[in-house]
Amino acid sequence: MCIAVFVWQDHPLYPFLLLQNRDEYHNRPTKAVAWWEGGEILGGRDEVAGGTWLACSREGRVAFLTNVLELHILPEAKSRGDLPVRFLKSTKTPKEFAEEVVKEAHQYNGFNLILADITSKTMVYVSNRPKGEPIIIQEVSPGIHVLSNAKLDSPWHKAQRLGLNFKELIGKHGKGDIPVKEMIEKLMRDTVKADKSKLPRICSLDWEFNLSSVFVQVDTPLGRYGTRSTAVLSVRASGEVSFYEMYLEKEMWKERTVKYQIENPN
């Protein structure tokens, strides 16, 4: 499970500014943010399936995804983390790639996928859930959005809480810079859980309760599960990209920042 909050084409300094927590088992092999695919893709990488949950390219393309919370999953399904990688390696527009995804969406477990091209100011959202419903490609409107483990901007406790806190923080800084560390401490380390009456009741109540905070930490029979990395991806109007990640490595928090300039931002 992951959660992301972002502002799209609605800030004087940042055409795009994203914060994302990645929730996963702590013992799952993962590589921290770095350039890969011959230096063309920047992001963290799952070493088990080879995909990613958030990455961007030198050309100003961005892709990120979250899983959909569901009771039953297909053990033989394709890896969802491969979708962002494929988009970043392709030359298709976000809409064209989303149309390609729609044709094969049934081969994956539940996902929410955002595809963006900063230079053309286009962003789309596509999900293969709820099951049985037509898959709609939605153009993402300018403004603040939250993506958790249901549809984009679903009114889940953690999503609403994160969205409101993000809006408040942006308002506090006005048209100026928003410090990365302050965003993480005030927004992404939030451990407040939902009232049990507000849970979606898809899986066990205890599991949903443990996942209902922005920052997740829970011990399970398979090992510790929860937030093991927080990323802040910012794109300035000048085309300067900054990818900051705070991540767990051998149960110690480390940090890394990679910056680059979008090639031909206009």
Residues 161-204: pLDDT tens digits? Answer: 999 999 999 999 999 999 999 999 999 999 999 999 999 999 99
Among residues 243, 252, 224, which one has the least CA distance to residue 42? Answer: 243
Transcribe 5-58 into DSSP letters: EEEES-SSS-SEEEEEEEEEETTS-EEEEEEETTTTEEEEEETTTS--SEEEET
Provide, rounded to the nearest whole percent, the portion of the chain with pLDDT above 70.
99
The dihedral region occupied by 9, where left means phi > 0, alpha psi between -120 and 50, and beta the remainder, is: left
Instruction: Assign 207 to helix, strand or coil.
Output: helix
pLDDT tier, 154 (very low <50, low <70, confident <90, very high otherwise):
very high
Structure tokens at 230: 């927080």
**9-22 average pLDDT score:** 97
**Do the bridges between strand 217-220 and strand 30-36 make them parallel or antiparallel, or are there none, so unpaired?**
unpaired
**23-27 average pLDDT score:** 96
Dihedral angle of Cα 233, 8, 65, 243, to the nearest 10 degrees: -10
How much is the pTM? 0.96
Please determine, for residue 256, whether its predicted confidence score (pLDDT) is greater than 90.
yes
pLDDT tier, 1 (very low <50, low <70, confident <90, very high otherwise):
confident
Question: Which pLDDT value is given to residue 263?
Answer: 78
* CB proximity list for 234: less than 8 A, separation 6 or greater: 14, 16, 17, 18, 180, 241, 242
Sign of CA dihedral 93, 35, 254, 261: negative
Please determine, for residue 26, whether its predicted confidence score (pLDDT) is greater than 70.
yes
Please determine, for residue 266, whether its predicted confidence score (pLDDT) is greater than 70.
no
Residue positions counted in the chain = 266
Q: What is the mean pLDDT of the chain?
A: 96
Question: Which pLDDT value is given to residue 132?
Answer: 87
pLDDT digits (tens, 9 = 90+) for 92-133: 999 999 999 999 999 999 999 999 999 999 999 999 999 889
Residue given tokens 């206009």 in the structure block? 266
- 124 forms beta bridges with 115, 139
pLDDT digits (tens, 9 = 90+) for 46-60: 999 999 999 999 999
The dihedral region occupied by 30, where left means phi > 0, alpha psi between -120 and 50, and beta the remainder, is: beta
Question: Which pLDDT value is given to residue 233?
Answer: 98
Question: Which pLDDT value is given to residue 67?
Answer: 96
Structure tokens at 81: 């983390």
Q: Which domains does the chain have, with CATH numbers?
A: 2-261 (3.60.60.10)
